Structure 1
């Protein structure tokens, strides 16, 4: 089985309370540490990689982001999915080629740019192009940014999720969705559901999110921030 196939399989057949936990490395060293801790796959956070390269979130040049992903994938043997924000304006074929060249088996693709939600139908059409170019070589995690952009109605997130799943998305990620609406999202979204958690204990534990319907858990740049906090404590 290919790495992409193995990564896809990790998302299916999971019992409630046992979501796939994908910690986010920001460089090769952190990736190796996470694999040594026993995690079967990793998912890079764009904000964490940006910070490691000296950029604010959302300001990393595409070439530097793909190069950083490539350094991470070369450093470990497990599947690595890459957060490539909104695709950097690349056409689907080029985006897929660059992800595969970097060694990624999946990607996060968000449906907003510059703080503004994209037209969901146009975004779904673009996702369909990515799916067509990728075939089964990439696992597509479609991020839904409604909650992050101030649209609190879960029905709007579910509507977007349905369009993206129909376009070929393998998983849906309603980032910043409140825990209280997770059961509603679970009932309205087909297929795997990604939820964000904080590794510092400020959000429900992954097992609890799994019981409520989450298929997989990611932490964004949370692990990097914890690491930096530890360094600051040592320096103090």
Structure 2
């Protein structure tokens, strides 16, 4: 078992903060987080591209190249693998692993389950050591009006993805404690959920059997919100509140470690 996989099976649930550039990743790692994820929304927004439309393949690989050699475990949000061809998805995953990524998040966008399963299998063939977190969007995209039907589809899809070799499964948008506990008890693979400020706390999720809690784009959106609040306060003649890292602190986040 790899060190990243082990974080999903022992001890408290893995709280995975999601970064969007070199500085944010190093700042989070400086708080003691052993693993950092990326967030596709922030990567897309920073490049002026749409999220979830396979438009940021190059930007995602470029960020992985920057972060893969840093002293933390890196998991990459690769949307749907940026292709409908499983072999192309496998090759992209191989390139991620080659630059130091240890995990990849693949979303199904509610496309055919067998196609997503083929992508998972292709990734495991191309990069066997890469932790594949298979995401289903049954609760994220919300196309099913009937809760019972949506729940059954979730179970079916996750079963198919586990059989295809997924190391973990991810159900963003699922916040009901009873459903989370039921799902965690049914699964063979570790369950990942997306933290919601309106949903269960991390300790509560741990008690429900969740093994990984992702923050997704939350930190990036909070950072944008803090910037807007600060400039609004300044424009109104007030000093902005909240912690502001110094110029020197931020400068160190962009400076490579000196050679030994």
TM over 0.5, shorter chain? yes
Alignment of 1:162-181 (within 5 A): 162-180=159-177, 181=179
Shift of 1:101: 3.2
Shift of 1:94: 1.2
CA RMSD of aligned residues (A): 1.7
The answer to whether the aligner puts 1:65 opposite 2:60 as a matched pair is yes
Relative contact order, higher structure (CA 8 A, sep 6+) = 1
Structure 2 residue runs without a partner (length 5+): 233-260
| In structure 1, distance between residues paired with 2:51 and 2:89 | 23
From 216, 221, 230, the equivalent of 2:212 is 216
From 32, 45, 54, the equivalent of 1:51 is 45
Bigger drift between 161-170 and 93-102 goes to 93-102
Give the structure-2-normalised TM-score.
Answer: 0.80
The answer to whether the aligner puts 1:81 opposite 2:75 as a matched pair is yes
Residue by residue, what CA displacement relative to the aligned partner does 1:91-150 show, whole Å, maximum 9, x if unpaired? 2431222212332111000112xxxx2111232123112112211x20000001111232
| In structure 2, distance between residues paired with 1:210 and 1:107 | 22
Count residues in correspondence. Answer: 222
* 2:199 aligned partner: 203
| In structure 2, distance between residues paired with 1:179 and 1:48 | 27
Give the structure-1-normalised TM-score.
Answer: 0.88
**What secondary structure is seen at the aligned counterpart in 1 of 2:116?**
helix
Alignment of 1:118-157 (within 5 A): 118-135=111-128, 137-150=129-142, 151=144, 152=147, 153-157=150-154
| In structure 1, distance between residues paired with 2:130 and 2:57 | 18
Shift of 1:53: 2.3
